[in-house]
Chains A and B, each alone.
Chain A
Amino acid sequence: KQEVTQIPAALSVPEGENLVLNCSFTDSAIYNLQWFRQDPGKGLTSLLLIQSSQREQTSGRLNASLDKSSGRSTLYIAASQPGDSATYLCAVRPWGNNDMRFGAGTRLTVKP
């Protein structure tokens, strides 16, 4: 069974800092990996989707990398802003499986 872990569970940084969020998964046989943002009381917003054949995806200040062989993905946020404060979740879709597996998320606070 695919297990997805996100460490740390919470992170607080000063505004302007570059930061990395980590996601690890136990089975490298994945179709894709997706990073989401969740604001309090809201649903999930897709940030980046990386197919299994890709190594990274970029959108603005966000860069996500994927290393299937080691079962790891990172989400890099450049020049963090208070508006980046949210919970960030990663999810993997295993091969031949319709069940996306989510991590519990990292709650990020960016202090002004």
Chain B
Amino acid sequence: NAGVTQTPKFQVLKTGQSMTLQCAQDMNHEYMSWYRQDPGMGLRLIHYSVGAGITDQGEVPNGYNVSRSTTEDFPLRLLSAAPSQTSVYFCASSYGQSDQPQHFGDGTRLSIL
């Protein structure tokens, strides 16, 4: 049981490049979400999904796209990378949306030059 797996662990991009951060979970969780963590700040929600085919925006969605074609996978796409998107990105999942503890991946450390 791998839990929540994020790839890659590290990535350096140039401004304007696009890329996809991968997130997969093997716990059959319906709810999945993406957060970013910046120094001195708490995690902020980017996008979330309550099930396959359903996604919605969080607090800071601009510059990011998501899709949920399967229960297991929830990729996050950076459309045109900007230095302000330099951050650590975490994917999380849980059985329920509100009353179950969330399980987090180990994060992707992304630097935009």
A93 CA to B100 CA in the complex, in Å?
Answer: 11
Q: Are A44 and B45 in contact (CB under 8 A)?
A: no
CB-based contact A91/B104 at 8 Å = no
Contact with A along B16-60 (1 / 0, CB 8 A): 000000000000000000010000111111001010000010110
Tell yes or no: A31 within 8 A of B by CB.
yes
Number of interface residues of A (CB under 8 A): 24
B101 touches A46 (CB 8 A): yes
Indicate which residue in B50, B58, B90, B102 contacts A99 across the interface (CB closer than 8 Å). B58
CB-CB < 8 A to A103: which residues of B? Answer: 42
> Nearest-CB distance from B106 to chain A (Å)?
5
Q: Contact between B41 and A43 (Cβ–Cβ < 8 Å)?
A: no
Q: Is the CB of B58 within 8 A of A45?
A: no
List the B side residues contacting A44 at CB < 8 Å: 43, 90, 92, 102, 104
Residue positions of B touching A, CB distance < 8 A: 4, 35, 40-45, 48, 50, 56, 58-59, 90, 92, 97-107
Give the interface of A toward B (CB within 8 A): 4, 31-32, 34, 36, 41-46, 49, 51, 89, 91, 93, 98-105
Beyond known contacts A44-B92, A93-B98: 16 more, CB 8 A cutoff: A34-B101, A36-B104, A43-B4, A43-B90, A43-B104, A44-B43, A44-B102, A45-B104, A46-B103, A49-B101, A51-B99, A91-B43, A100-B102, A102-B43, A103-B42, A104-B41
